[in-house]
Amino acid sequence: MKLLWPFLIVVLILTFAASILIGQANAPIADSLAALMTGDGPLGRIMQDIRLPRALLGVMVGVSLGLSGAAIQGYLRNPLAEPGIIGISGAASLGAVVSLQTGFAAVFWLALPLSALGSAFLAVLIILALAGPRGGSLTLILAGIAVSALAGALTSLALNLSPNPYATYEIVFWMMGSLADRSMDHVWLALPFCLVGWVMIASLGPALNALSLGEDTAASMGINLTRSRLILIIGVACSVGAVTAVSGAIGFVGLVVPHILRPFVGARPSVLVWASALGGAIMILAADILVRIVLPDGDLKLGVVMALIGAPLFLHLIYKTRGDLQ
């Protein structure tokens, strides 16, 4: 328990370093680090323009998904909840797909992530309108399911109406989720939204703890449920919306990471939120390294690998903890 934090921090640093050092250009570690600092020569370009943004985005995606997953599970008091359940990632995906399908994505490089972000915020407005200011957690889940279903249907429609096979191919590959070929511009675009989202979600610690005893008890302990829910939805929308906009939809991290770490933090939601942030970053970085090692020449998608790791892991966790779940 006490060793958990040093362990997570050390593993995160190691995976981050490995993510920067492993890739197609097989250079010695010392040369790579020197090139990262100076940015000189082709290796410098690779380190600063390709590897560094990829590793940084990996951390941002992992922290956002882990943090949001733990917070949503805590808020809904449901271990099966994940960031996608309130419809944000589906909506962000839809925005990206529509921009690809209409060719808007090709107009300027920010067009795709901006469409994704815009559509994520539209989803927030719809969810808030559907779930109302005072509704309970069940209304929020139902509103999220409705928004997800609608976003899924519209995504299928966009694919259905895609003008040529190449556009379909591009859309399908984007939806699989990846960190490849991203630049520092993507990092700078997503970072402010991520930071705002992280701060908002982190402020919910006491509310999530109190909610372990149900909404009535939490309210009687001075927690403003309406405000907490608003902060949660906007925080998740900012961070998950932003990372989905730059990386595509990546599943299972927000579901599995809180599950794995819960026993190590005594199941306290306020602590789990932070542990899941670090754990999520580790998981994404590790999977993204795996993507590069398994198929160095191919274009294996991170989202696919994540699902391949995440689903069996989740099955194993269900098998192990089925006695505790009611």
Partner 1 sequence: MTLFSYDTLSVLRGECPVVDHVSFKIDAGDFIGLIGPNGAGKTTLMRAGLGLLAHTGVSTLTQMTPQKRARTAAWMPQQREIAWAMSVRDVIRLGRLGAGNASEDTRAVDTAMDRMGLTSFADRIATHLSGGEQARVLIARALAQDTPLLFADEPTASLDPESQLSTMDVFRSLAADGRGVMASIHDLGLAARYCTKLALMHRGQLVAFGSPTEVLTGDNLRHVFKVHAFYEHTIDGPVFQPLSVVS
Interacting residues toward partner 1 by CB under 8 A: 77, 206, 209-214, 216-217, 219-224, 262-263, 266-269, 324
Phi, psi of 226 (to 5 degrees): -60, -45
Rounded to whole angstroms, how far apart are CA atoms 23 and 16?
13
The answer to whether 273 and 70 have CB atoms below 8 angstroms apart is: yes
We find the least distance from the C-beta atom of residue 228 to partner 1, in angstroms, to be 12
We find the least distance from the C-beta atom of residue 326 to partner 1, in angstroms, to be 9
We find the least distance from the C-beta atom of residue 222 to partner 1, in angstroms, to be 3
Rounded to whole angstroms, how far apart are CA atoms 85 and 301?
22
Give 45 or 316: the residue with its C-beta nearer to partner 1: 316
Give 42 or 133: the residue with its C-beta nearer to partner 1: 133
Judged on CB neighbours under 10 Å (0-12, 13-18, 19+), 13 is exposed
What does the DSSP assignment read for 36-68?
HHH--HHHHHIIIIIIHHHHHHHHHHHHHHHHH
Give 210 or 285: the residue with its C-beta nearer to partner 1: 210
Rounded to whole angstroms, how far apart are CA atoms 196 and 291?
30
Give 156 or 220: the residue with its C-beta nearer to partner 1: 220
Give 75 or 174: the residue with its C-beta nearer to partner 1: 75
The rounded radius of gyration (Å) of the Cα atoms in the chain is 20
The answer to whether 241 and 121 have CB atoms below 8 angstroms apart is: yes
We find the least distance from the C-beta atom of residue 206 to partner 1, in angstroms, to be 6
| Residues 6 or more apart in contact with residue 138 via CB below 8 angstroms | none
Coil vs helix vs strand at 124: helix
Coil vs helix vs strand at 267: coil
Look at the block and give the residue holding tokens 């899924």.
Answer: 152
We find the least distance from the C-beta atom of residue 256 to partner 1, in angstroms, to be 17
We find the least distance from the C-beta atom of residue 219 to partner 1, in angstroms, to be 6
Give 164 or 326: the residue with its C-beta nearer to partner 1: 326
We find the least distance from the C-beta atom of residue 139 to partner 1, in angstroms, to be 17
Give 203 or 217: the residue with its C-beta nearer to partner 1: 217
